[in-house]
Amino acid sequence: MCILSRRGEMHMILQFSCSNHKSIKNKVTFSTIAGSDNTFEEKLKTFSNFRVMRSAVIYGANGSGKSNFISALEFMCNLVGESMKHQPGQRIFQAPHKLNSNSVPSEYEIQFVKNNTRYVYGFSIVKNIVQNEYLYYFPKGRQVKIFEREAMEIKPGGKYKNSFGVSLSVLKENRLFLSCAANYTNIKEIEDAFLFFTEDIVIYNPNANNWTEYSIQLMQKDNKIKNNFVEILQALGTGVKDIRVKLEKTKIAAKDLPSELPETLKMLMTSQEANMIEAKLIYDEFETDLITEESMGIKKLFEVICPIIDIIDNGKVLVCDEIETSLHESIVYQIVKLFSQAKKEPFAQLIFSTHDTSLLDSSLFRRDQIWFTQLDKQRATDLYSLIEIKNVRKTENLEKGYISGKYGAIPVLNRNFSFR
């Protein structure tokens, strides 16, 4: 992740939609553009004619598609960043809905802001190859085509007609043209769009990612981040007075490896550098080693808080699946508040899924910030916002309403179900 400060530059997701991705059969659309609700207007960011929200939360039963929706955005980001590496004959991974035939396209589209300019980018995948792709931007609010694609045919916008020579020569049916053009042109709009996916969107899965090493790297580089983290730990009542961290490159000595390892593996491991990390938490009368002596909760705090400070300071978008994993609900509450109460510049966003109903609080979220996933009779995911549901008062007890089933999106047990 980039840690350069970019104050004054605005980066945000406005809208994301997808279809035919895992449990998502038909098109669903998520938006951070504020609706008619006038609650917490001071926490919104105005961009062009849009009022944009800093955070959004997604609720739903297990298996309803929360994680699949986030994985669709992750798939889009990864394909933009990695498809240039695809070799001839290599197929793009595709996970269509089980009830769709293999001729139904998987479609992805995002509206976003990068460097204070709005973009729309999208593509479709059919039978593991790119079918369509397009990129537009809106200088002074007016839509301008950068390129459109149908199979292997590229149609540049008028301004870009003679700009894609080398990019066209490296294009393949398993590569996105945005990835090709970002690597083989110097077009600012192309580069900005590409970097939005590879730098500005940060997707975190607590079950797959581990940011401990990255947190240590951040604290070693920037004492301000370390001090901010210590202040947060103290505010949470952990008793931590200070932190001492060290990260350095080292080579593994053959004598430190298990004797039963094959010699070829030993040679490989000793020929490469590894990161040696050290993190000590200092209390009043003793210190502890983070890795071997601290609780899972402290380890998880150490892992996520520093990157979150970096994301807020640099105006990025954090997307997190089941944010509450290994974190106490009060800490998740404080993380949400960090984003909602962050200073106006730069603008950072938090989009996350959770099962923690204690966060369903009208003092924390507007109705258009709260989203739900629910399976229909075809086992297809529907995504909708609380603002779309009629007769929900601004002062309503949202947690009680959700648990009672008023908003849908909760598991419904068969009446005959029982534990034996």
Residue pair 386/392 in contact by the 8 Å Cβ criterion: yes
Q: What is the distance between the alpha carbons of residues 384 and 58, in angstroms, rounded to a whole number?
A: 9
What is the DSSP track for 355-387? Answer: --GGG--TTT--GGGEEEEEE-TTS-EEEEEGG
Both tokens of residue 153? 């045919």
Q: What's the half-sphere exposure (Cβ side, CA atoms, 13 Å) at 31?
A: 15
Looking at residue 411, its pLDDT comes to: 56
Looking at residue 31, its pLDDT comes to: 98
Side chain identity, residue 331:
I
State the burial class of residue 191 (Cβ atoms within 10 Å of its Cβ: 0-12, 13-18, 19+): middle
Residue/partner pairs of 87-91 with CB below 8 Å, 24 or more apart? 88/172, 89/174, 90/174, 91/128, 91/129, 91/174
Q: What is the distance between the alpha carbons of residues 187 and 305, in angstroms, rounded to a whole number?
A: 35
Residue pair 322/67 in contact by the 8 Å Cβ criterion: yes
List the chain pLDDT tens, one digit each, 420 residues: 333 334 457 899 999 999 999 999 999 999 999 998 888 898 899 999 999 999 999 999 999 999 999 999 999 999 999 999 999 999 999 999 999 999 999 999 999 999 999 999 999 999 999 999 999 999 988 999 999 999 999 999 999 999 999 999 999 999 999 999 999 999 999 999 999 999 999 998 776 667 888 888 889 888 988 998 999 888 888 899 999 998 887 777 777 777 778 888 777 777 777 677 889 999 999 999 998 999 888 888 888 888 888 899 889 999 999 888 767 788 888 888 888 877 667 899 999 999 999 999 999 999 999 999 999 989 999 999 999 999 998 889 999 999 999 999 875 544 454 444
Looking at residue 5, its pLDDT comes to: 38
Q: What is the distance between the alpha carbons of residues 264 and 244, in angstroms, rounded to a whole number?
A: 37
pTM for the model: 0.88
Q: Residue 281: name the closest of 225, 248, 249, 233 by CA.
A: 233
Q: Where in the chain is the domain with CATH 3.40.50?
A: 8-206+321-412
The set of residues, in sequence order, having a beta carbon less than 8 Å from that of 236 and lying 6+ positions away, is: 301, 330, 331, 334
Looking at residue 50, its pLDDT comes to: 95
CATH architecture entry for 8-206+321-412: 3-Layer(aba) Sandwich (3.40)
Instruction: Please state, in angstroms and as integers, the Cα–Cα distance from residue 362 to each residue in 152, 359, 397, following that order.
Output: 49, 9, 8
Q: Give residue 58's region: left, alpha or beta (phi > 0; psi -120 to 50).
A: beta
